[in-house]
A and B are shown apart, each in its own frame.
Chain A
Amino acid sequence: MSGLFVKGKGLSVKALSVMLRDQCVIKNANFKVKQGEHACIIGPNGAGKTSLLKALAGDFPPDKHTISSQEAEGIFWCGQNMHHLTPRQRAQTVAVLPQFNPLNFPFSVREVINLGRIPYATSTHVNGFIINTLLDWLALTPLQHKQYVQLSGGEKQRVQLARVLAQAYGNSDTFDGSNKLLLLDEPTSALDLQHQTACALLFKQLQQQGLTIVSVVHDINLASQMANTLIGLKHGHIIVKGTPHKVITPANIQAIFDVDAHVMTHPNNQTPFIVM
């Protein structure tokens, strides 16, 4: 399967437009995310952030109404057009955490995380080891035998995150993020400050293992801390993209969100942050 992909090429989106019910929700989006980098999509409500993420996840099959299937256009992962992948190849390459994950059935935390191993034919032993690792990473070990339905909102979100990471984990018991793309729709929206920080740190560490991440994040300051690239979306248009320093300026914030904000610099790591 690795022969399909050119290593290190990362994600490249070319002339992507998405039509949903006669409405153009994404208009001619072009951007690149290098392997091992984290791109955060920011923008106001209804800007098309989730639609863009869903398009990357393969939710909209290419036909004349949605994504053009011409060679020059589309979503390319490591040089390979993603719509040419089989469902299993895609599931072993792209792991997606949707915004809402309703689950009404009595699964234990371990069982939910194990669902992320569905695309792989690895042994129960390897899966068990991976689940233990993820429980440790997300501080879920004390909850591992609890019922998912009995958890709090933030705990559920961490379990779902662990499930998606189990899918991005790969075939062996050591994490290898190269060739893996992680798509996260508001992964930290229900988390408290401590877990938010821990997650941001975890993402950084996984990036160092080669993992490429595209996420939708509402908190600009968190996005500024986590991202290598910010993508500012409004009315389906990418109106600004680049490093946090380039994107987070009073003028851009005004253009994207229609609010006046002051931009300051973090005393320790010099990343920009905003106050109203």
Chain B
Amino acid sequence: MEKIADYQLLLQLGEESLGRTYKAETPSRLGVAAQYLTIKIRKRLVNDEGFSKLCLHLATANSVQGPHVAQIYDVGQEGDYIYVASEFFDGGSLEKPALPLSRVDVLSAVSAAAQGAHELHEVGLTHCAITPGNIMVSEPAKVTDISFLNILSPGQILAGAQDTTPIEFQSPERIQGQPTSRSSDIWALGTTLHKVLTGHSIFPDLPDETLLSSVRHILNTKPIMSDALRNGERRIIERALDPDPSERFETAAQMSEAIAAEAKRQEEAGVE
């Protein structure tokens, strides 16, 4: 694919089961100063009502009071495809950073992402898809790619076998079909923090034969903390991953503060 609508696609940034994400040149009609933007394209048949719901949902995400959520510029539909154009980040994501990051940088980025999640919660939304790939490295770091799966298909938990949100980042209660909440995003922040600090999943033995076997594994297995974690990091992650959602951090802002405090401790201790 070279173009959609009036967007010239320059570079493919990612691929999922339902579509692709590209770097594109910013059309002048948007009135946006940035030369480039990120455009997410999904093959999806959406009627007018579904398209309007999607626009309202993303406009609400855009209305957050704070700098920790990536801006969305344009939502559109061409044929069987819908697209979402949003802010582009030179620094890459925590999954694929453009430059090496120190441990303190990583902690600070996840702290900022938790603040971004909190900003969404304060306007009544959940992110539902927090992963290392959706935390963009900038100053400050921002969360991007808010999920709209459940807006287009109420009740849907996972988009597909190659979901944009790998199943390990979905809270067990969410996999069971419970509604999304502050605490389900807090779980995702905990699993993300573990992954970016250690390089390992909290479910190291997650089977990959079928999605069903993965789901069964997560619902019947406790998360395993890596020995590579420092004590302060471990305490934060364990609290975020408490099986009882009401025992997790009450808000993502509280989790953000705890991570920021740990980053400060490590910075003062000279941790690389």
A complexed with B: no
Task: Name A's B-contacting residues (CB within 8 A).
Answer: none
